[in-house]
Structures are given as structure tokens and as C-alpha cells.
Amino acid sequence: MQARAYAAPPTLDDALALLAEHGADARVLAGGTDLIIQVRENRRDVGVMVDVKAIRELTEFTFLADGSLRIGAATPCARIYGDSQVARRFPAIIDSASLIGGVQIQSRASLGGNLCNSSPAADSIPTLIALGAIAEIRSKRQEREVLVEAFCTGPGQNVLAADELLVALRIPAPAAHSGAAFQRFIPRNEMDISVTNAAANVTLSADGQTFTAARIAIGAVAPTPLLVPAAGAALVGQPVGEAAIEAAAAASRAAARPITDMRGSADQRRHLAGVLTARVLRTAIERARAS
């Protein structure tokens, strides 16, 4: 294992100071479910591991006055999906958080870590994009906010500067008559990385018959998870039904720019982008009508 030093700063300021001091030689450690493997397999050389799990602000989640949900970047998935209020108001988050790894992994892995690892196939990022989540970023120099859909810049790459830390994810309060859902496709029934995944967040008219807003995101079909504005546009103003769903699925297929590898072929992934878009839309509609 090639990690030369380890630090567990007790406060956010301490963590930011360490990042400012060590820059690119430092690496933030949350659950470690990606980072430790990368280090062990010599895929990453880390000078200082900055463990942020001792920082309270990073390991808590709270509902804000406006109904939005603020999740500390290192909060374990298991704690999030174990919360009944989150389950009721943000079921799509549960869809994602409950299928990343098994229970042991979920007790360590975090949504913030999943985002910062910036895998094109990450299982929480499409959900965060569909929900319009915002990344709260801090460094000693500045504070800033970035929409999750603009966070990843390539496989394993993102907008964070070497001295910056993802502090929290803020998910806006769900609109009335809205619903969201996430699904992935894997060849087995567990223990796989998504061949393709998708999330949808739809708002319906009060009578539940017309789409009034929609955000569709797809993953593992491009260098980063993608927001598909054309899929949303294909729905808004349309009657809820299979014709609109198929139009959105076609938009997802068109937006996909997949590769062929051991996990799936480009054609398969493009096809699945459409299949999964339709499937998550059907669940999101059901949830919107039940809300």
C-alpha cells in the first residue's frame, strides 16, 4: 500500500488547512471504498490521506427550513436509507444508496465519496442530477456551489481544485405532484458495476395527467453521467403516457455516447439507456401520483 501519511482532522478548518498545505499530494478519505482499493492496487499514489469522518458537519444530514435536504459529504449510505423521512420524501435517493455494495460497504460508502470518485457508472450521480442537487465546495480560499450535473469532467475527474473539499450535497425540496426514481442494469443481481443506469424526476399537473417538469439523467454511457435535457423537453407539456415515455427514451438513446468494454457493448448501452429511461419514468410517475 502506497500511502505515506494519514491525518484525521477534527474540524473542517483543520481539513482545509491540510489540503491547502499538501495540495495534489493529499487525498480526501471518506468511506474509503474506492480510494483504499485504488491505493492497494497501486493505481493511485497518495502522500497524505485526509480522513474526514471525524468532522461532524460532513457526517450528518439535516432538513433545512425550505424543505431541502443537506447531506454531509461523508455520511454513510446506510444512515441515509435508514431514515424514514428521507425514504418518504426522496425515494430515489434510497434507490441509489441502498444498492451501492452490500451492507458493510453501505455502512462506509457515502454519496459525497461516490460523486468525488466521479466514475461514469456511479450509481448515485444520475439520481443527484435528476433531483437538481447542488455540491457545496470549500477551500481556505473560497466557498462555492456547483450543480452536480456540472461536477464531473471526465472518468475520475471533476471540478474540485487540489485544495478544495466537497462539504455537502443539497437537494431541493420536492415539488408538489413530483416523483423520482433510479434504476441500473447489471448482468447479475448484485455485486456488479452498472452497465447503464438512469434516473428520472418528474412533476405532474395536479390531476396527474400532464408532465409539467422533468429531468432525466443517464450513466455509464459517456465519460461522465449525463443530464439529458432533450428527454425532459420531450415530456414537458405532454400527456402522461407511453408515447411521451418513448420519446424521452429515444432522446436518452440519442444522447448516449457509450464505449464497448467487458461490461457491455456500445449498442447494448445505448439500447439500455432507452429501456431504463422508460422504466424509471414509469416508477417516477407512479410515485408522483402517490405523493
Site for other proteins (CB under 8 A): which residue of 66, 103, 187, 207? 187
Per rule CB under 8 A, is residue 160 in the interface with other proteins?
no
Q: Using the rule CB under 8 A, is 242 a contact of other proteins?
A: no
Positive or negative, the Cα torsion across 32, 36, 39, 43?
A: negative
Distance CA 202, CA 50 (A): 38
- Told to check if 188 binds other proteins by CB under 8 A, we report yes
Q: Is 185 in the site for other proteins (CB under 8 A)?
A: yes
Instruction: Give the interface segment with other proteins, choosing from 24-32, 63-71, 184-192, 210-218 (CB under 8 A).
Output: 184-192
**Contact status, residue 66 vs residue 104, Cβ threshold 8 Å:** no
Q: Does 265 bind other proteins (CB under 8 A)?
A: yes
- In the bound state with other proteins, the residue whose beta carbon lies nearer, of 84 and 189, is 189
| Closer by beta carbon to other proteins, 122 or else 133 | 122
191 touches other proteins by CB under 8 A: yes
Choice from 111, 271, 273, 287 touching other proteins (CB under 8 A): 271
Q: Rounded to an integer, what distance in angstroms lies between the CA atom of residue 66 and that of residue 33?
A: 33
Q: Cell numbers of 22, please?
A: 499538501
CB nearer to other proteins: pick between 8 and 193: 193
How many other CB atoms sit within 10 Å of the CB of residue 201? 28
250: nearest Cα among 228, 231, 226: 231
Judged by phi (left if over 0) then psi (alpha if -120 to 50, else beta), residue 208 lies in left
**Per-residue x/- track, 192-231, other proteins (CB under 8 A):** xx-x------------------------------------
Please tell me whether residue 103 binds other proteins under the rule CB under 8 A: no
Q: Give 59 or 277: the residue with its C-beta nearer to other proteins.
A: 277
Q: Collect contacts of 60-66 with beta carbons under 8 A, ≥24 apart.
A: 61/86, 64/170, 66/173
Least distance in Å: CB of 262 to other proteins?
4
- Minimum CB separation of residue 7 from other proteins in Å reads 22
Of 275, 282, 289, 291, the one binding other proteins by CB under 8 A: 275
- CA atoms of 127 and 44, how far apart (whole Å): 28
Grid cell for residue 188: 447479475
Rounded to whole angstroms, the Cα distance separating 252 from 257 reads 10
Of residues 195 and 235, the one with the C-beta less far from other proteins: 195
Taking CB under 8 A as the binding criterion, the range among 73-81, 93-101, 107-115, 182-190 that sits at the site for other proteins is 182-190
Question: Rounded to whole angstroms, how far apart are CA atoms 265 and 269?
Answer: 6
* Beta carbons within 10 angstroms of residue 26's beta carbon: 21
Residue at grid coordinates 428527454: 231
Bridge partners of 6, per DSSP, are 49
The distance of closest approach from Cβ of residue 185 to other proteins in the complex, given in angstroms and rounded to an integer, is 6
What does the binding site for other proteins look like in residue numbers (CB under 8 A)? 1, 185, 187-193, 195, 261-265, 267-268, 271-272, 275
